[in-house]
A = this chain, B = another copy of it.
Amino acid sequence: MRIQHSNMAATGWPECAKSLKGVILDLCGVLYDSGEGDGVAISGSAAAVKKLKESDLQLRFCTNETQATREKFVGKLQRLGFDISVSEVFPPAPAAIAVLKERGLRPHLLVHDGLLDEFDGVDKSNPNCVIIGDAAENFSYKNLNEAFTVLIGLEKPVLFSLGQGRYYKETDGLKLDVGVYMKALEYACDLKAEVIGKPSPTFFQSVLNDMGLQPHEVLMIGDDLVNDVGGAQRCGMKGVQVRTGKYRQIVSRDFSSC
């Protein structure tokens, strides 16, 4: 997290930052880079988290990670050297489970194997909605057809997409993200998916609720111009883009979510 290299940090926190009461950090591309095993912590990021925790600011972590349960994901962050606990991390899957409960929905899941445990206690019989996450290799023709068949068979088809990223970078190259398959199913079924995760205002609001703060009191820091910075700004928060992760000087064709 190289915000200390930006103009903002070079002259200390600007005037507007003095009214801040909380900070929300993105994770992948801000605190660490994903890759084989646990990935790699970005230089200086563990110290930055420590400094924020020692300050008067409230701190939360907001991510579109859907390849592991929250517990396993936080375990990885701790192994990378971060002082982070499960209750501080907000990924899409627990938010989705809350929505299912609230609306009495039973999902057909098209998600990564690593995420399945998160939905252990959820009734998945006779599904009346579909949830897709970053399913990676599970995005086979057969599995996408199955999700499509569930949707097209419903009187009022409901599709939840855990994020809407286009692609992300792994050590062995670029990988298609969940948003691509969201668009595929939207077209197949002539519907609009409900995005759970960044940049959904509902998702950001759930983090603000947990902090007990108003949007203008909170700063979101991420590497994604659309899903982190733009999403936060549309909610009334301040947004800052770091120069790590997917940040590029020229941002065209490079605004997926991680």
Query: Which residue numbers of A lie inside 8 Å of B, CB to CB?
Result: 135-142, 144-145, 148-149, 152, 166-167, 173-176, 179-181, 183-190, 252-253
Q: Is B148 a contact partner of A190 (Cβ separation < 8 A)?
A: no
CA A141 to CA B138, docked complex, whole Å: 7
Collect the chain B residues with CB atoms within 8 Å of residue A135's CB. Answer: 141
What distance in Å separates the Cβ of A114 from its nearest Cβ neighbour in chain B? 15
Q: Which residue of B lies closest to A179 (CB)?
A: B187
Q: Which residue of B lies closest to A189 (CB)?
A: B253
Which of B141, B176, B181, B184 is within 8 Å of A137, CB to CB?
B141
Q: Is the interface of A mostly helix, strand, loop or mixed?
A: helix
Q: Is B184 a contact partner of A141 (Cβ separation < 8 A)?
A: no
Collect the chain B residues with CB atoms within 8 Å of residue A188's CB. Answer: 166-167, 176, 179-180
CA A145 to CA B136, docked complex, whole Å: 10
Q: Is A145 a contact partner of B181 (Cβ separation < 8 A)?
A: no
Q: Is B183 a contact partner of A145 (Cβ separation < 8 A)?
A: no
What distance in Å separates the Cβ of A96 from its nearest Cβ neighbour in chain B? 21
What distance in Å separates the Cβ of A173 from its nearest Cβ neighbour in chain B? 6
Q: Which residue of B lies closest to A167 (CB)?
A: B188
What distance in Å separates the Cβ of A54 from its nearest Cβ neighbour in chain B? 41
Q: Which residue of B lies closest to A175 (CB)?
A: B145
Q: Is A173 a contact partner of B190 (Cβ separation < 8 A)?
A: no
- Give the top 8 A-B pairs by smallest Cβ distance, nearest first: A183-B187, A184-B184, A139-B141, A180-B184, A180-B188, A183-B183, A137-B141, A166-B188
Q: Is B174 a contact partner of A148 (Cβ separation < 8 A)?
A: yes
Given that A180-B187, A184-B180, A187-B183 are contacting pairs, would A152 and B174 also be in contact in the complex, using a CB cutoff of 8 Å? yes
Q: Is B186 a contact partner of A144 (Cβ separation < 8 A)?
A: no
Collect the chain B residues with CB atoms within 8 Å of residue A181's CB. Answer: 184
Collect the chain B residues with CB atoms within 8 Å of residue A141's CB. Answer: 135-140, 176
Collect the chain B residues with CB atoms within 8 Å of residue A174's CB. Answer: 145, 148-149, 152
Q: Which residue of B lies closest to A173 (CB)?
A: B149
Which of B137, B145, B186 is within 8 Å of A142, CB to CB?
B137
Q: Specify which of A142, A174, A187 lies most central, judged by the most chain B CB atoms within 10 Å of its CB.
A: A187
Q: Is A145 a contact partner of B186 (Cβ separation < 8 A)?
A: no
Can you spell out 21 A-B residue pairs with CB atoms less than 8 angstroms apart? A136-B141, A137-B141, A137-B142, A138-B141, A139-B140, A139-B144, A140-B140, A141-B176, A148-B174, A148-B176, A176-B184, A176-B188, A179-B187, A179-B188, A180-B185, A180-B187, A181-B184, A183-B183, A183-B184, A183-B187, A189-B253
